[in-house]
Structure 1
Amino acid sequence: MTEQADVGVSVGRACRCPPRSRPPGRTNEGDGSVTTDAHVGFDPAATLDQINAATESLLETAVQFTDADVRAPSLLPNWSRGHVLTHLARNADGGRRLLIWARTGVETPEYPSLAARAEQIEAGAGRDADQLVADLRDSAAQFAAEYRRMPLAAWKRTVRWTRGQERPAARAADSRLCEVLVHHADLGSGYTPERWPADFVQAMMGRVVASFGAREGAPAMRLHATDTGASYDVGAVGAAVAIHGPERSLLAWLMGRSQGLELAVQGCAVLPKPPFLY
């Protein structure tokens, strides 16, 4: 699939999740602060707790799958649930290698190449349910073990993702959390964006909005989260089109995980079409 933006989740692609600081594009009454430093506010222990909780929830879903279930389509075009589970396992391996790079200073590529990554996912997607779950569990445990070996200073060290982006290693932690939460919903097994944690939703909203605002053809709109009071501007500030709804619903719609039926729109007859993310 064509990948259009450095944000979110896509088939066979690591998340480019936002830092744990106030995200760009987010405004609150009395607070106009914005920061984009990838490790400002990053709490390794708290983030690992979030990753572990998200992983346990994912595994609780995966262990219920039969062989027929994992061969059934996921919510992602052209991918079965087996593809999604294999991608998540290989993503854990890739993230672990980036952490090794940051900790040791020895260049350890995330993947040999994009083609090799795609081949690994395709090769593993047809396995039986028990094999898929065991791989998912083992790879997640190895990622967590390497995570715990990271000294504090290593999180600020720059590593390079397969597509060439160079970022602090802290982004590998945020990326892993993003992958697990969003792809869990992509399994189409009852877990939905309604269960995404609030702090993840707030951080991801800022990242998505910043990405849209930097792209030609993105519709100018103001997003208002009715549950948190947060507002976001896509494109020009003060756009005539305003969209209202719960923050999780806004994010799910922007990321293509919802049709936006829970949202209300002002300034036009129908919801504008968000830019293609992935």
Structure 2
Amino acid sequence: MKEIPPTPESFGEIAAAADRLLTGLAGLDDADVAGPSLLPGWTRGHVLSHLARQVPALERLLAWARTGVETPQYAGREARDAEIEAGAHATAATLVAELRASAAHFQRSVEELPAPAWQATVRPFTGELCTPRRILVIRLRELELHHADLDIGYGFADIPDSARQIVLDDLLGYYAAAEHVPDFVLSDSEGALLGRFGTGGPVVSGAPAEVLAWLAGRTTGSALHSTAELPVLPPWL
């Protein structure tokens, strides 16, 4: 379960990811936003609506850490999905403005969170107990993966190394703790070990961007090399 410290460098990673996304959205019109994303059943509007509405949800966890009063991220999956759907059909200008404002608000929220709150325990929607340091990882992960999901010319290979490593470490940690993960060894294209799951199994290797895309369920792993049949991973999230 990946966490990163609340440092200027960590805050900078999130701000830079948001800036890259907002830059990529320049010039998108209403037809572009209504078009399909790479996520089944979601338009680009759904992806943008999710990213904007994720901020108040994550800030509810920050409020929990700051006050000690349990404040769930969402009331439930139905409430989360309804929020996303409600905003998904707005104009491109509205969605981009919401995303810009929410990104700036999140940045202020984490940079102003009191030091003791960073040690508090909260529980995100996904169920794990963690400190707000994990919220930084979640936000960075969502910005980077969903930027690629928008299919606007930004792919996994475009994620800067430092940000990609944080997201990759997060997914590796997830699969290390998940059930029903087949046995295999994962390495990068240079042979450096990335993870060992179970005992034995094939050695799967590839460029970090391709490894990340596969672990995140965004590709079939066809660009990876495996010494035997490529393992079938259980669904992520």
Q: Does the Cα contact within 8 Å between 2:137 and 2:166 map onto a contact in 1? A: no
Q: After TM superposition, list the pairs within 5 Å mapping 1:1-278 onto structure 2.
A: 18-20=2-4, 42-227=5-190, 229-236=192-199, 239-266=200-227, 268=228, 270-278=229-237
Contact 1:212 / 1:235 at 8 angstroms: preserved in 2? no
Q: What's the offset of the Cα at 1:215?
A: 4.1
Structure 2 residues without counterparts, runs of 5 or longer:
none
Q: What is the rounded CA distance, in whole Å, between the counterparts of 2:180 and 2:112 in structure 1?
A: 44
What one-letter code is carried by the residue in structure 1 that aligns with 2:98? Answer: D
Aligned pair count reads: 237
Separation (CA, whole Å) in 2 of partners of 1:107 and 1:185 = 33
Alignment CA distance shift 1:117-1:58 (3 Å): same
Q: Is the contact between residue 210 and residue 234 of structure 1 (CA under 8 Å) also seen in structure 2?
A: no
Deviations 1:12-48 (Å, cap 9, x if unpaired)? Answer: xxxxx6223xxxxxxxxxxxxxxxxxxxxx1432111
Structure 2: how far apart are the matches of 1:130 and 1:231? 41
TM-score by length of 1: 0.78
Specify which structure has the bigger relative contact order, considering alpha-carbon pairs within 8 angstroms and separated by 6 or more residues.
Answer: 1
Distance 1:151 1:216, change over 3 A: closer
Taking a change above 3 Å as real, the CA distance of residues 231 and 136 of structure 1, as seen in their structure-2 partners, is closer
What amino acid is aligned across from residue 11 of structure 2 in structure 1? L
Partner-residue secondary structure (3-state), 1:175: helix
What's the CA shift for 1:73? 0.7
CA RMSD of aligned residues (A): 2.0
Q: For the Cα contact (< 8 Å) 1:243–1:264, is it kept in 2? A: yes
Question: Is 1:103–1:154's contact at 8 Å kept on the other side of the alignment?
Answer: yes
Per-residue CA distance 1:167-201 (angstroms, 9 max, x = gap) = 21111111111110111111011111112232343
Farther off after superposition, 65-74 or 138-147: 138-147
Give identity over the alignment, percent: 38
Contact 2:2 2:173 in 1 (8 A): no
Structure 2 length as normaliser, TM-score? 0.91
2:137–2:167 contact (8 Å) kept in structure 1: no
Gaps of 5+ in 1: 1-16, 21-41
Inter-CA distance 243–163: structure 2 relative to 1 (3 Å threshold): closer
Q: Contact 2:202/2:230 (CA < 8 Å) preserved in 1? A: no
Report how far residue 152 of structure 1 moved: 2.1
